[in-house]
Amino acid sequence: MEKLIINNQFSLFNKFSLRFLFLYFLFYIYPYGFEYIYDFNPDAFSFWEGITIWFGETFIGWDVYENMLNKGFDSKYDFSRFLLIAFQSLLFSVLWMYLDFKFKLKYDFTLRKFLRTILRYHVGFTLIMYGLAKVFMTQFGYMDIEKLEAPIGNSSGMGFLWTFMSYSKFYTMITGWVEVIGGIFLLFRRTTFMGSFILFIAMINVVIIDIGFDVSVKMFAIHLLFMVVVLLSKDIKRMYNFFMNYEIPTASIREESLFIKAQIKKGMSYVKVLMLICFSVSCYFFTNKALGFYPENTTPSLTGFYKVENQKVNNESISLSRGKQWKSFSINGTSWQLGFMNLKKGDNENYRYSFKADTIKRTINFYAEGDSLNPYKFTYDKILGEELVLKGMFEGDTLWLKTRVKKLEDYRLMKEIKWVRDLD
């Protein structure tokens, strides 16, 4: 959308476009866009669910099941709502235009400033929050045993993306800081253009990645990019002159204030400070909550993937075909859920147990979830650092296991970055 002012007047098309965009973004943001407010439940304030389900079923022919809406994850419900709010915005914009012409109302400049103010704060808050999730490595998590052992062919595109983002803290944290810095710039009128320009580049990258890896929030990213484009549209001509037309000087401009009267501007500055404080508190709680999903590993010496090389049941060796055979198991295999042991048996089924270990007494007690009163008790001995021997009772049998362990640092993917490739 180009500059909306033509000879100090708004053309008919630009008047309509302004109202359509204002209504569309307003309908889109309320209430699902307020995810940067901690402990906010959008469903408690939403009026969309019933009418969206009806619209999707009536006009699109989709069966939108009320108990499986999958809101915000590129679902049938989401696309039904996008089409619904586009239709509503179109209809209400026509009615709005009619009323403005009938009563000869002129407030296009104010409406444009109001729209830009809404987009500045919404995009800024949203991308600061998501940027911090990357900076603190909570959005994609960390590389762990389960990811390293999972066959790549069994990954979804989104799962594969999460894996390579969690591999590189450097890349993930840099992209996070770009979003945080761009978002902060949007919160101030003097730096709106810089923030829009930074986030335009950042969101193009996000949209391309989300589409290319089939991430289930593609439309969320596309809407954020669209909002950034609207913010940047005011400066398209200036950017063209700066980069392409060197003969025309590019004048600097400042984002216009929504209010003119000094007293109102002063009062709104206090409101802004309060908003920023509340948002900072929300970010603090969001970050603490997310970090809580990655507790401290209290048994790092046992964390690893164990391949069973030899096994005895009741002092007798068993063949590979026996159903009681243990093939492998991992301890603390998932970085965001420590204290668990995942066992793969001879039937190729995976079994999950909670465990507690005493590294001084060299004991491991593991049990099915919810059955901590009846644990399986094992003792273990380490041999040469790479082998582990376990002894204990399991499902009524005496087990003896000799295993070879792979730690996180033993995987090639976990090697450090090399600046000189052939330097040992």
| DSSP string for 323-372 | TT-EEEEEES-STTS-SEEEEEETTS-EEEEEEEEETTTTEEEEE-TT-T
330 and 260 in a single domain? The answer is no
**What distance separates the 2 farthest-apart alpha carbons in the chain?**
95
222 and 248 in a single domain? The answer is yes
317 and 203 in a single domain? The answer is no
* DSSP conformation class of 356: E
The Cα 136–Cα 335 span in angstroms is 14
Query: Residue 230: pLDDT above 90?
Result: yes
In a domain, 5, yes or no: no
Question: Of all helices (H) and strands (E), which one includes residue 278?
Answer: helix 262-291
CA 245 to each of CA 172, 229, 248, 249, 345: distance values in angstroms, whole numbers, following the listed order: 36, 21, 6, 9, 69
Query: Residue 290: pLDDT above 90?
Result: yes
191 and 320 in a single domain? The answer is no
For the chain, what is the mean pLDDT?
91
Q: Which pLDDT band, with edges at 50, 70 and 90, does 405 fall under?
A: very high
Tens-digit pLDDT profile for residues 369-380: 878 888 999 999
Question: Tell me, what's the pLDDT at 363?
Answer: 95
Token couple for 54? 């009806």
* DSSP conformation class of 236: H
Q: Which phi and psi (to 5°) does residue 277 adopt?
A: -65, -45
Query: Residue 211: pLDDT above 90?
Result: yes
Domain of 355, CATH number, reads 2.40.128
Question: Tell me, what's the pLDDT at 2?
Answer: 38
- Strand-pair partners of 328: 307, 344
Query: Residue 320: pLDDT above 90?
Result: no
206 and 121 in a single domain? The answer is yes
52 and 187 in a single domain? The answer is yes
Query: Residue 342: pLDDT above 90?
Result: yes
135-139, 164-168, 317-321, 336-340: the lowest-pLDDT one: 317-321
Query: Residue 6: pLDDT above 70?
Result: no
In a domain, 418, yes or no: no
Question: Tell me, what's the pLDDT at 1?
Answer: 38
Query: Torsion over CA of 213, 216, 222 and 225, rounded to 10 degrees?
Result: -80
273 and 312 in a single domain? The answer is no
Question: Tell me, what's the pLDDT at 421?
Answer: 81
The Cα 197–Cα 229 span in angstroms is 9
Query: Residue 3: pLDDT above 70?
Result: no
- Residue carrying structure tokens 């401009």: 253
Q: Last residue of a domain, which of 291, 324, 344?
A: 291
206 and 109 in a single domain? The answer is yes
338 and 284 in a single domain? The answer is no
In a domain, 256, yes or no: yes
The Cα 374–Cα 368 span in angstroms is 9
Question: Tell me, what's the pLDDT at 249?
Answer: 79
232 and 349 in a single domain? The answer is no
In a domain, 416, yes or no: no
Residues 366 and 354 sit within 8 Å (Cβ to Cβ): yes
In a domain, 64, yes or no: yes
State the average pLDDT over residues 298-327. Answer: 84
Question: Tell me, what's the pLDDT at 415?
Answer: 86
Query: Residue 322: pLDDT above 80?
Result: no
238 and 326 in a single domain? The answer is no
State the average pLDDT over residues 224-247. Answer: 89
State the average pLDDT over residues 240-252. Answer: 80
Q: Last residue of a domain, which of 291, 317, 339?
A: 291
Quote the number of domains for the chain: 2
Q: Last residue of a domain, which of 291, 318, 345?
A: 291
In a domain, 105, yes or no: yes
115 and 236 in a single domain? The answer is yes
CA 301 to each of CA 167, 330, 388, 410: distance values in angstroms, whole numbers, following the listed order: 21, 13, 11, 13
Query: Residue 129: pLDDT above 90?
Result: yes
Tens-digit pLDDT profile for residues 56-94: 999 999 999 988 899 999 999 999 999 999 999 999 999
Q: 0.95 exceeded by the pTM?
A: no
Containing domain of residue 271, as a range? 12-291
Query: Residue 215: pLDDT above 60?
Result: yes
Nearest to 131 by CA among 178, 171, 188: 178
The Cα 95–Cα 310 span in angstroms is 78
In a domain, 241, yes or no: yes
In a domain, 46, yes or no: yes
Q: Which phi and psi (to 5°) does residue 13 adopt?
A: -65, -40
Q: Which phi and psi (to 5°) does residue 34 adopt?
A: -85, 40
